[in-house]
A and B are shown apart, each in its own frame.
Chain A
Amino acid sequence: MKVSRRALLAGAAGVVALGKTAAMQASQAPSDPSKVRGKPSRALGQRAPFEKPQRQPRGVASSGTPHQDLYGTITPADLHFERHHGGVPEIDPKTYSLLIHGMVERPMVFTLADLKRFPSVSRVHFLECSGNFGGRGTATELTPQQLAGLTSTSEWTGVALATLFREVGASPKATWFLAEGQDAAVLTRSIPVSKAHDDALIAYGQNGEAIRPEQGYPARLLLPGWEGNSNVKWLRRIELSDRPFMTREETSKYTEPMADGTARIFSFLMDARSLITYPAYPVTLSRGWVEINGIAWTGSGKIRRVDVSTDGGATWTPARLQEPVLSKAHTRFRHLWNWTGGEAVIMSRAVDETGYVQPTRDVLIAARGVSSVGYHVNPITGWLIRPDGTVVYRAEPW
């Protein structure tokens, strides 16, 4: 069954026709590989020709991770989601530099080589665009990629921002800093200095290699657990200040209107969320034992528990969490279920170490209003399994 699922999902997610194409290519392999001398060694490895996981671009400014094609928790770097506001810039690492100035004793410039000379750290963290919700309409033929493709997890390597702040002599009176990219949007966000002393990095490594261009090559700001947009890519400048800068991204864009007539500003934290990635559209289930599995994550630290329901939320059972559960990283959960063939709605609900419980759509709407679905929307997601085994997204129109 797994093989047919792979074949079905190969190519653009959800497009069954492409899956069939991939299945036909599979027939090019020799019927008995042990009777044919294999390929020689090569400088750069490639995926098996039968495996064609793809990001799914939505317009020119974003593309999502194909969660339905992935195992475990680490996102392959070339499948990490992308979101940019002025295209992906080409930056020569030899001429790259990072300027840190403002409320500092010594305004300084660091080359990429300089950044790599500082003590480094590697940590596994998710990154999620706060606009990561594609399920507000009535469509049911939606894949995990389409619903929540704008979250990915990588091992990031870089220098602690606190180390650089010591190097420049950041003023104790500085409470905010501006992070600015070198893309065509020259994207800027204001960040509390406290995040630098918590866990912020200037990252240049991703899953063991240099960060990919779409993720900010050659260096980016990484703010674990905070909305993707604030993790400024292609970082060229940091300016310390004693007040936020009120940039376009943090005022007219990444803010959330609330039901009480206000708008939430500087809403960095990504709240806990989970998503079943199997079984999900467009697979067709066979009766019998099914390992329901998916990913859960929270910007508040570790996932404490993921509950799974196979009866539309009437009852919930804690799923098994894959150890080690890492802070601010995708966590794989699994739950064995014997599907006997009736219609069922399966759902998952994340609980994080602060006790925060992933909300339902109705709870979110009560707090945020029906139309505030732009940012920080993390509702419990349901998949409807029909008696014929087809699986579709259980739409909850907003």
Chain B
Amino acid sequence: MKSALRLVAIGVLGLICVAGDRNAVPLAAQARTTAPAKAQPAKAPAKAPSAKEPARFGIGRPATPAEITAWDIDVGPDGVGLPPGRGTPADGAPIYTSRCAGCHGKTGKEGPNDVLAGRLPGDAFPFARDPRAPKTIGSYWPYATTAFDYIRRAMPPDAPGSLKDNEVYGLVAYLLFLNELIPADASIDATSLPKVKMPAHDRFVPDTRGAPKPAPGAKSR
């Protein structure tokens, strides 16, 4: 429920931004305003632009479905974009050991690169006051889907994008298991991954600094 509210809040933020833009004209309206309205007063500026911008320039070509499929690899927080396939912690453990442990540590806690595993007592969120609190998947990441998206597109650094979808599912399952977010026998796929409850999910609040009317006297932000 709370998560739904957050998403709504983010959507509203987007709308506020639109409303606050001086230059924002709805796209549909822009496409229609190729000729000035008849009712306009005769006091139009004397200096007219050299040529009116057309609604479309006819530059570029249509994208083929195959082109879109080849590049459209993103996975959303709702699970949109997750491919077929599945994986369990047991599937992911050996892949983690061979491809990930060198940078992220034997159990995801040792580094030297980003610490991936570990929860904080009571799922506390002390990151503003405690520089040692590690921002792990279990302690800080708001969405489990992000792990699939990121691993598939960018990991491992010596061969980015080389893992098969089932390997990524297995790795994600293993990392979620290391973070005590799923049991050892859980299977992760397109249906189950978006449902994994992330402890830090409700901590994230959209930035309002750029909002049209900042709170009076608000200096520290």
Once the chains bind, are B128 and A369 in contact (CB under 8 Å)?
Answer: yes
Once the chains bind, are A110 and B59 in contact (CB under 8 Å)?
Answer: yes
CB neighbours of A357 from chain B (8 A): 219
* Interface set, chain A 227-251, CB cutoff 8 A to B: 236-237, 239, 241-248, 251
CB within 8 Å for A251 and B128 given contacts A101-B68, A108-B61, A243-B11:
no
A107 to B63, CA, bound (A): 5
A372 to B126, CA, bound (A): 10
Once the chains bind, are A244 and B150 in contact (CB under 8 Å)?
Answer: no
Contact segment of B37-45, B86-94, B136-144, B178-186: B136-144
CB neighbours of B150 from chain A (8 A): 247-248
CB within 8 Å for A262 and B27 given contacts A114-B60, A186-B154:
no
CB neighbours of B133 from chain A (8 A): 371
Once the chains bind, are B63 and A99 in contact (CB under 8 Å)?
Answer: yes
Once the chains bind, are B221 and A184 in contact (CB under 8 Å)?
Answer: no
Once the chains bind, are A246 and B143 in contact (CB under 8 Å)?
Answer: yes
Once the chains bind, are A245 and B74 in contact (CB under 8 Å)?
Answer: yes
Give the Cβ gap from A316 to chain B, nearest Cβ, in Å. Answer: 15
A245 to B76, CA, bound (A): 5
Contact segment of A33-41, A74-82, A191-199, A383-391: A191-199
What 1/0 mask marks residues of chain A from 287 to 325 whose CB sits below 8 Å from any chain B CB? 000000000000010000000000000000000000000
A170 to B30, CA, bound (A): 11
Give the Cβ gap from B39 to chain A, nearest Cβ, in Å. Answer: 24
* Interface set, chain A 144-191, CB cutoff 8 A to B: 163, 165-167, 169-172, 175-176, 178, 180, 184-188
Give the Cβ gap from A269 to chain B, nearest Cβ, in Å. Answer: 4
What 1/0 mask marks residues of chain B from 6 to 22 whose CB sits below 8 Å from any chain A CB? 01001101110110110
Give the Cβ gap from B201 to chain A, nearest Cβ, in Å. Answer: 10
A167 to B30, CA, bound (A): 11
CB within 8 Å for A244 and B27 given contacts A107-B62, A166-B56, A194-B18:
no
Chain A interface size, under 10 / 10 to 19 / 20 to 34 / 35 or more: 35 or more
A186 to B73, CA, bound (A): 10
A197 to B142, CA, bound (A): 29
Name the residue of chain B whose CB is nearest to the CB of A111: B60
Contact segment of A2-10, A15-23, A358-366: A358-366
A186 to B7, CA, bound (A): 25
B31 close to chain A: CB less than 8 A: yes
Once the chains bind, are B160 and A110 in contact (CB under 8 Å)?
Answer: no
Give the Cβ gap from A298 to chain B, nearest Cβ, in Å. Answer: 11
Once the chains bind, are B14 and A167 in contact (CB under 8 Å)?
Answer: no
Give the Cβ gap from A136 to chain B, nearest Cβ, in Å. Answer: 9
A255 to B145, CA, bound (A): 17
Once the chains bind, are A300 and B204 in contact (CB under 8 Å)?
Answer: no
Once the chains bind, are A366 and B128 in contact (CB under 8 Å)?
Answer: no
A172 to B18, CA, bound (A): 11
CB within 8 Å for A114 and B59 given contacts A197-B18, A255-B204, A261-B203:
yes
A95 close to chain B: CB less than 8 A: no
Q: Which listed residue (A165, A175, A184, A193) contacts B157, Cβ 8 A?
A: A184
CB neighbours of B130 from chain A (8 A): 371
Give the Cβ gap from A53 to chain B, nearest Cβ, in Å. Answer: 31
A269 to B209, CA, bound (A): 7
Q: Which listed residue (B75, B76, B204) contacts A263, Cβ 8 A?
A: B204
Give the Cβ gap from A170 to chain B, nearest Cβ, in Å. Answer: 5
CB within 8 Å for A236 and B71 given contacts A108-B63, A372-B128:
yes
A11 to B72, CA, bound (A): 45
A39 to B14, CA, bound (A): 58
* Interface set, chain A 248-287, CB cutoff 8 A to B: 248, 251-252, 255, 257-259, 261-269, 271
Q: Which listed residue (A171, A269, A363) contacts B210, Cβ 8 A?
A: A269
What 1/0 mask marks residues of chain A from 102 to 126 whose CB sits below 8 Å from any chain B CB? 0000111111001001110000000
CB within 8 Å for A252 and B128 given contacts A239-B72, A359-B219:
no
Once the chains bind, are B127 and A257 in contact (CB under 8 Å)?
Answer: yes
Besides A175-B18, A369-B129, 16 more A-B contacts (Cβ < 8 Å) are A106-B62, A167-B56, A176-B14, A192-B17, A193-B18, A198-B21, A198-B23, A237-B71, A245-B74, A251-B146, A252-B135, A263-B204, A265-B204, A268-B207, A370-B128, A372-B128
Question: Which residues of A pack against B, CB within 8 Å?
Answer: 85-86, 99-101, 106-111, 114, 117-119, 163, 165-167, 169-172, 175-176, 178, 180, 184-188, 192-195, 197-199, 236-237, 239, 241-248, 251-252, 255, 257-259, 261-269, 271, 300, 354, 356-357, 359, 363-364, 366-373
